[in-house]
Amino acid sequence: MVEVRKLGLDGVFEIRVAKFEDPRGFLSETWNAGKLADVGIAIDFVQDNQSLSRQRGVVRGLHYQAPPFAQDKLVRVLRGSIFDVAVDIRKGSPSFGDWVGLTLSDKEWNQILVPKGFAHGFVTLEPDTEVAYKVSAPYSQSHDRSIRFDDPDIGAEWPVTAADMILSAKDAAAPLLTEVETGFVYP
């Protein structure tokens, strides 16, 4: 069983998959290309990434890779919880600069699909949170880009106060959306 729910921005979805539990534990197909192709999602993932954030309030993002190394991302939480944000960065899009947010957790067993043309980031909601995500293009340092998580023109409503957030130097110095050429153009 696969449930797919649109999140209000073109191509951004919440995905829920079945979790089969018994006294030994559980089994879950977190990605099944055939089942998702049946509902119109066809992506070839090439790399899996995993992060551990030791503290509540760790911000990772807003990140994206510029073309030709643009990435679709399928994000899920292995342990803990995050508030995940996707921002439309496609020039000319009717929803350019708009964002959606979704809480992902190991308890909810939900995922978010963030397509190419969207910046992505999250903040941890509890300590020792582990996040796993699939990407459709390999990491390219020369195409790696960031946008300020607190860009006032985007206006993402993070559930952790700025004073309680922990950022990398790269994310703290990220430019505003109006200061970057993303490389994405709405069709």
139 counts as catalytic: no
Q: How far apart are CA 28 and CA 119, in angstroms?
A: 28
Instruction: List, in order, residues 6 or more apart from 152 with CB less than 8 Å away.
Output: none
- CA 89, 156, 46, 54 dihedral sign is positive
Helix (H, G, I), strand (E, B) or coil at 79: strand
Catalytic residue, candidates 120, 133, 143, 186: 133
**Annotation says 186 is catalytic:** no
SS3 assignment, position 144 = strand
Find the largest Cα–Cα distance for the chain. Answer: 54
Helix (H) or strand (E) holding 170: helix 169-172
Residues in the chain: 187
Query: What would you report as the CA-atom Rg of the chain, rounded to the nearest whole angstrom?
Result: 16
> CA distances (Å), 181 to each of 67, 164, 175, in order?
11, 30, 11
Q: Which are the catalytic amino acids? A: 63, 133
